[in-house]
Amino acid sequence: MTTSTATPAAQNAERRTRAAELIASLPTGLYIGGEWGPSADGATFAVENPATGEVIAHVAKGAQADAAAAIESAAATQKSWAATPPRTRSDILRRAYELILERQEDLALIMTTEMGKPLAEARGEVAYGAEFFRWFSEEAVRIDGGHTTTGDGANRILVTKEPVGPCILITPWNFPLAMGTRKIGPAIAAGCTMVFKPAELTPLTTLALTEILTLAGLPAGVLNVVTTDDPGSVVETWMDSGLARKVSFTGSTQVGKLLLEQASRTVMRTSMELGGNAPFIVCPDADLDKAVGGAMVAKMRNMGEACTAANRMFVHRSVADEFARKLAERMGALNVGNGVDEGTQVGPLVERKAVDKVRTLVSDAVERGATVVVGGEEGADAGYFYQPTVLSGVDPRSDLMGTEIFGPVAPVIPYDTEEEVIEMANNTPWGLVGYLFTQDIDRGLQMSSALEVGMVGLNTGLVSNPAAPFGGVKQSGLGREGGRVGIEEFLEIKYLAIPRT
């Protein structure tokens, strides 16, 4: 796309033009029964570029009638789709994986333009998102069962696994591709049909992904996509339809709880990947440079807009000031800007509300005695920027200790004893992930087991991987995505009792 002789400014301009062309070429309708079309009442909603505040597209606004058509399409296709050979489903996923990688740059440009993350991170998410399709293409042909005998020897027990049935899939805006492929991949592999609703802030990546799945040979009716900025009415229509057998949701704990209530009406299977409030613990014996490197990843991936983001940095008092200083040096040196521009390391937050939330949380911490070591200001541009910020000496009673910051702010809280830090780390209703830096393997294992979380990064700031079981405990959710267990969320066990004589 770019030539090596073009100046950085010319390359940036060329990327913006290319992104606009790509977005203009996307389908903007609903995808139901293998057909693209407008919503029943023709309504649309606007999608913004958070780096500029400009409207970049209008997409179909689905409502109840569209939701009903989508779930009926999924239900009507379930039987034939479940009967396809696993290898057929596997091949479709494999082709889609390859097509995503062929279009990595285009998908990354679309993603950055609608969501804000720097292009390098968007490319990384495309590779990560594609990998879920490769992983589940491999799992599709390995769905297992079991055969045993009852204790008295009278019966054979034959255990088989079947697709759970039509699924409702709902995703957030922060990982517009990977949160979708992490659900669509195992659903396809298991033989489930789907209705899918991407987040209203970032529907464009999903539209591009839907085109790819069609090209990869996914039959009509298996995946039905409804975009809308009125999620409540679309999703409740699906939940109460009596046609869906499962809901898989990634998003806030607040919406997750609402969906759990709705799921109870029809006793639907649920997978919930909800919010986090990750502790990041630095022990006195940690390799401090490694810990700072890990903190940069755990805090700054996605501008801090990740469920896995390190929200509370507990650092042993003996190294807390040095840690904060080193972290501030790294954070203060980051380039903030439009994610499509060369050299940008930190993009905008996703919307104005997000900047307001971060500003309020930082003010509260400062009023309670925290020091701003670096940052602490929002951007002056039209987009939704906030500077990478380190706060030291944070009072544990500050509001940001009990709220997902979802922004580039690292609060450093000094601690004295192991017992105290574990108690503070667990003092939250969430339990998605925790990070721990120590060079003492025994201490690392003991503290990992004491943390009330579904995942631990032990001397690393990154846990996400398609081969690993991702998920949380407490109010961070139910079930796991990815890994060997990921497909089980989309399978139902059936047991046959067979007399031996």
Q: E strands within 100-193? A: 146-149, 155-163, 167-170
Q: What DSSP element (H or E) covers 430?
A: strand 430-431
CB atoms within 10 A of CB 5: 6
Of 12-20, 269-277, 294-302, 416-424, the segment contacting ligand NAD by CB under 6 A is 269-277
Of 33-41, 107-115, 167-175, 387-395, the segment contacting ligand NAD by CB under 6 A is 167-175
Q: Name which position in 276, 294, 337, 348 contacts ligand NAD (CB under 6 A).
A: 276
Do residues 126 and 141 lie in contact, with contact meaning Cβ atoms separated by under 8 Å?
no
By CB under 6 A, tell whether 171 contacts ligand NAD. Answer: yes
Residue type, 219: P
Nearer to ligand NAD, 187 or 216 (CB): 187
Do residues 481 and 471 lie in contact, with contact meaning Cβ atoms separated by under 8 Å?
yes
Residue with nearest beta carbon to ligand NAD:
251
Where on the phi/psi map is residue 248: left (φ > 0), alpha (ψ -120 to 50), or beta? beta
Do residues 75 and 166 lie in contact, with contact meaning Cβ atoms separated by under 8 Å?
yes
By CB under 6 A, tell whether 429 contacts ligand NAD. Answer: no
What pairs with residue 371 in β-bridges? Answer: 392
Marked catalytic residue, from 125, 139, 273, 305: 273
Q: Rounded CA gap, 325 and 330, in Å?
A: 9
Q: Name which position in 109, 255, 327, 405 contacts ligand NAD (CB under 6 A).
A: 255
Nearest approach in angstroms of CB 152 to ligand NAD is: 45
By CB under 6 A, tell whether 258 contacts ligand NAD. Answer: yes
CB-based burial, 337-360: b 16+ in 10 Å, e otherwise? bbbbbeebbbbbbbbeebbebbbe
By CB under 6 A, tell whether 68 contacts ligand NAD. Answer: no
Residues 2-61 that bind ligand NAD (CB under 6 A): none
By CB under 6 A, tell whether 116 contacts ligand NAD. Answer: no
Do residues 193 and 72 lie in contact, with contact meaning Cβ atoms separated by under 8 Å?
no
CA separation, residue 308 to residues 332, 405, 464, 491 (Å): 22, 11, 9, 27
Close Cβ partners of 226 (under 8 Å, ≥ 6 residues apart): 30, 32, 62, 66, 67, 70, 195, 196, 197, 234
State phi, psi for 32 to the nearest 5 degrees: -130, 130
Nearest approach in angstroms of CB 47 to ligand NAD is: 13
Q: Name which position in 173, 314, 385, 437 contacts ligand NAD (CB under 6 A).
A: 173
By CB under 6 A, tell whether 200 contacts ligand NAD. Answer: yes
By CB under 6 A, tell whether 307 contacts ligand NAD. Answer: yes
Of 3-11, 62-70, 247-255, 323-331, the segment contacting ligand NAD by CB under 6 A is 247-255
Of 87-95, 172-180, 314-322, 411-419, the segment contacting ligand NAD by CB under 6 A is 172-180
Q: Rounded CA gap, 62 and 41, in Å?
A: 8
CA separation, residue 211 to residues 25, 35, 207, 344, 498 (Å): 11, 11, 6, 29, 46
Between 381 and 410, how does the x/- string for binding to ligand NAD read (CB under 6 A)? Answer: -----------------------x------
Per the annotation, the verdict on 377 as an active-site residue is no
Nearer to ligand NAD, 335 or 360 (CB): 360
Nearer to ligand NAD, 231 or 337 (CB): 231
Nearest approach in angstroms of CB 277 to ligand NAD is: 9
Q: How many CA atoms lie within 13 A of 63 on its CB side?
A: 9
Of 1-9, 272-280, 295-303, 366-374, the segment contacting ligand NAD by CB under 6 A is 272-280
Q: Name which position in 72, 273, 488, 489 contacts ligand NAD (CB under 6 A).
A: 273
| Residues classed as catalytic | 273
Binding site for ligand NAD (CB under 6 A): 170-175, 179, 197, 199-200, 231-232, 235, 250-252, 255, 258, 273-276, 307, 404, 432, 477
